[in-house]
Structure 1
Amino acid sequence: MNEMFVGTSKEKFFYHNTLLCLVRAMQGHNITVDLRNDSYICGHVENVDGYMNMSFTNAVFCNPRGDEYHFQQLFVQARNIRYVHIPETMSILNTIRNELTHGKKKEQKKPSEKSRKAKKALKQHMETVASLNN
């Protein structure tokens, strides 16, 4: 995963406090996802959002009767997901650790320039504090 997680504050909460970070680390891998209606999807995970909605490419959907349907692109809502199969070749702890530490590498922001109003308020505050010491 080469990009930092971007989303709403609610999505960031889910990312850092649930196993969403593990599922998000599956982007770019071929995995199997079991759905609540006893069907499953095998395919290449293109994207996972902050609510665990998943987009697949080159996916195969298999219904409970065993019929297979091929899709170039397929979107699955999180509420329909029962189970995400993590490949055996992936170390779960290392994957989570790598995903979370990568998200903390942010660009260094330069200190923001204070507005004239903020500078004036700070100056008045400092004068008030100085007069209290006298």
Structure 2
Amino acid sequence: MMFIGTSREKFFYHNTLLCLVKSLQGQNITVDLRNDSYVCGHLTSVDGYMNLSMTKAVYCDSQENEFYFDNLFVQARNIRYVHIPETVSILGNIKNEFKKGNDKDPNKEDKPVKSRKAKKALQQHMKIVASLEK
């Protein structure tokens, strides 16, 4: 499944750690917010600006009050930190997320060739990821 969004969202996806957060979809995570509160819940979707949609969420404010929500939307500008579960392999998830985008669907027609700049940026990112493994 290739990332779908505007060109700006695609840029953020390929040039930030948004791809890592997107790979956490379907898992329970904790997100620290800028107002010293946090949210725990099941991550259902992430858009190209890192806005998060969560289900079965618990919002805990700075006075330690808990509020339960069936669905909760967190704007990216309010996020301070996303906790990555200890069971998640960070490099493995990043690689798998990019592999999802590279898999070709036989039912879809061929897409136009990426620009040289985009190809070069992707190659540079893959070299960095490979060097981190060593």
User: 1:74 aligned to 2:72?
Assistant: yes
User: 1:20 aligned to 2:12?
Assistant: no
Amino acid at match of 1:20: L
Q: Determine helix, strand or coil for the equivalent of 2:8.
A: helix
What's 1:40 paired with? 38
CA distance in 1, matches of 2:70, 2:45: 14
Aligned length: 110
CA distance in 2, matches of 1:13, 1:27: 19
Q: Determine helix, strand or coil for the equivalent of 1:44.
A: strand
Which portions of structure 1, spanning 4 or more consecutive aligned residues, are displaced by more than 4 angstroms?
Answer: none
Higher CA-based Rg? 1
What's 1:128 paired with? none
What's 2:53 paired with? 55
CA distance in 2, matches of 1:9, 1:24: 17
What TM-score results when the alignment is normalised by the length of structure 1?
A: 0.78
Q: Deviations over 1:7-42 (max 9, x none)?
A: 111100100110000000111000000000000000
Unpaired stretches in structure 1, ≥5 consecutive residues: 112-134
What's 1:10 paired with? 8
CA distance in 2, matches of 1:92, 1:25: 9
Q: Deviations over 1:55-100 (max 9, x none)?
A: 0000000000000000000000000000000000011000000001
Unpaired stretches in structure 2, ≥5 consecutive residues: 112-134
What TM-score results when the alignment is normalised by the length of structure 2?
A: 0.78
C-alpha RMSD over aligned residues: 1.7
Q: Alignment identity in percent?
A: 65
